[in-house]
Structure 1
């Protein structure tokens, strides 16, 4: 990261469980951010087609088909449309979405360059609590950073930020711009502080201090439309409230770089990120450099992708023996 950049952080409500409608809204926000000078825009967790709040309110299977129908398939015409808008507006894009990969859904953060190219796709390592009833798990291949013209960019979703070892893996890859995508903070507010805005905002701020990096923390809003669609009785209305938007942008010293919006207010937070702030913070305490003690504690990390099917390449001799190869000058090879 060798120059200052302007970034945009989304706080808005998706068009709930409407993929096409939310893509249209996504495009509007991309164009707005670009018109205001942003070089990067970051969206909330599962922005497309909206976070499945029903998982916390009733039987997880109730609306599962609706999520499948409205999840994005990477490489589809809809995905290409989004990428083309990034290119047309010369802006980088980190998009939170529900990805449909054949029969499985994943909670994904998709990084697209200002030329419309896919730089990286990461899947949430461990869906939280009831999310596991709908979404698949990822593996160590999703814990990586991306070196770009803007700087070294990394991303995590929601409660991946409470995993100390996961955080350290990202710090150790010298992350400079971190995007922490959140769904909203208006669930179970009267039940547990763990899901409160205070706790989760603190996680984003502490990430910035620990990693000496910028943290962009986009956050969705629970709209009245979502409440009307999902909260069909008084009990559900007590569990999920409208609002919950607490988007933030933090500097490497943990300071807030923008004035927050009201929790029900849609809009973009914009901030200028100055790389000198990273240099100063790292000089004081670098947890993966001069302030580390790998002789005392170190972390074992497996970055490999776990694949359900691996195809072993046959050896040349095996191909001859099974007559799949015929050597020049003979019609058939007999193996002795």
Structure 2
């Protein structure tokens, strides 16, 4: 926590209007998930829960105070604790200390799902968390072993907070700096925006903490940092730091570059074809348990289709005998998630 507040102050002194921290900056990336069976992960799981934040807790409150005190917007990635579950969360705090955006990662990536929970669309939308204006005395969280690097830039820039785990490139290249940089450039082009890419750096001390065998050390290596800022045309506009170096990278931003980029290619505007394809994002809350009508089965398909089947007595009998098929009343109709193609 102290390091986070110090970096916010340092960025503000350097003239930055926004500072972005990587995914799960607090308490740090759970590298142990990659290094062995579940039984060996148990000692780390308790520490992850102990060091996770709650949205209305004293740590986020201290960061909001720092943002207000230094007049800087803060994009913070952290592990959020909600009851017994952990979520990969991001909160954007305005320069006056108010919360502009709070969201949870819809789908944790790969082994992240062993530690972090999925969320519904309603909890991934922009919102002000409960207690955002609450004032509490700051409390220091235990520091993470791995090193992480923030990135800063001018006001009004979208940001991407990937957690670049540092397994060997031949093990998971899609998590490498090269692959994530390429993805970030696509985000810049398709979004017509400046993109702040804040990444993590793992230190030798972090490897000593997580890797206790030769096999684990083979899977994890130091470095991995590649924080940078890309223009809407995908060009990088920051200096390139060594992958093992901690530091702030910064750039001045000319928002007119967004207009120029979108004049050539605007997927959400003149380059779109909503008559042919469009995206539906469910924003209403979904409950784990819902009441159902007796004798009716409602299946919510993953492809935006709802299938309703009314089971009569003969249909139930056919099911018991193992015969395939659904009663004559089976019908399918486009649901709210239907897409035209």
Same fold (TM over 0.5): yes
User: Is it true that 1:216 corresponds to 2:196 in the alignment?
Assistant: yes
Q: Tell me, in whole angstroms, the C-alpha distance in 2 between the residues paired with 1:115 and 1:195.
A: 35
Give the counterpart of 2:3 among 8, 25, 46: 25
Q: How many residues align?
A: 259
Label 1:145 to 1:214 Cα distance change in 2 as closer, same or farther (>3 A): farther
Query: What whole-Å deviation, never above 9, does each CA across 1:98-157 have from its counterpart, x for those lacking one?
Result: 0001111000011111111122211011001111111111222355569xxxxxxxxxxx
User: Is it true that 1:241 corresponds to 2:241 in the alignment?
Assistant: no
Q: Which residue does 2:249 correspond to in 1?
A: 269
Give the counterpart of 1:256 among 219, 236, 249: 236
Structure 1: gaps of 5 or more residues: 1-22, 147-175, 311-336
Q: Which residue does 1:93 correspond to in 2?
A: 74
Q: Tell me, in whole angstroms, the C-alpha distance in 2 between the residues paired with 1:261 and 1:142.
A: 35
Q: Tell me, in whole angstroms, the C-alpha distance in 1 between the residues paired with 2:69 and 2:114.
A: 38
Give the Å deviation of 1:177.
2.7
Q: Which residue does 1:102 correspond to in 2?
A: 83
Q: Tell me, in whole angstroms, the C-alpha distance in 1 between the residues paired with 2:184 and 2:280.
A: 24
Relative CO higher for 1 or 2, CA cutoff 8 Å, sep ≥ 6? 1
Label 1:269 to 1:72 Cα distance change in 2 as closer, same or farther (>3 A): same
Q: Secondary structure at the match of 1:293?
A: coil
Spell out the pairing of 1:126-205 with structure 2 (5 A cutoff): 126-141=107-122, 144=125, 177-205=157-185
Label 1:309 to 1:95 Cα distance change in 2 as closer, same or farther (>3 A): farther
Give the counterpart of 1:291 among 242, 251, 271: 271
Structure 2: gaps of 5 or more residues: 128-155, 291-341
Q: Tell me, in whole angstroms, the C-alpha distance in 2 between the residues paired with 1:26 and 1:183.
A: 17
Q: Tell me, in whole angstroms, the C-alpha distance in 2 between the residues paired with 1:295 and 1:264.
A: 48
Root-mean-square deviation (Å):
1.7
Which one is further off, 69-78 or 176-185?
176-185
Query: Given that residues 184 and 222 in structure 1 are in contact (C-alpha distance below 8 angstroms), is that contact kept between their aligned partners in structure 2?
Result: no
Q: Which residue does 2:322 correspond to in 1?
A: none
Give the Å deviation of 1:307.
4.5
Query: What whole-Å deviation, never above 9, does each CA across 1:250-269 have from its counterpart, x for those lacking one?
Result: 01000111112110111111
Give the Å deviation of 1:288.
1.2
Q: Which residue does 2:98 correspond to in 1?
A: 117
TM-score, structure 2 normalization = 0.73
Give the Å deviation of 1:188.
3.1
Q: Tell me, in whole angstroms, the C-alpha distance in 2 between the residues paired with 1:305 and 1:64.
A: 28
Which one is further off, 189-198 or 110-119?
189-198
Q: Secondary structure at the match of 1:109?
A: strand
Q: Tell me, in whole angstroms, the C-alpha distance in 1 between the residues paired with 2:165 and 2:51.
A: 23
Q: Which residue does 1:228 correspond to in 2?
A: 208
Give the counterpart of 1:56 among 21, 26, 34: 34
Give the Å deviation of 1:243.
0.6
Give the Å deviation of 1:184.
2.7
Query: What whole-Å deviation, never above 9, does each CA across 1:245-299 have from its counterpart, x for those lacking one?
Result: 0111001000111112110111111111211000001111111111111111111
Query: Given that residues 120 and 285 in structure 2 are in contact (C-alpha distance below 8 angstroms), is that contact kept between their aligned partners in structure 1?
Result: yes
Q: Secondary structure at the match of 2:168?
A: coil
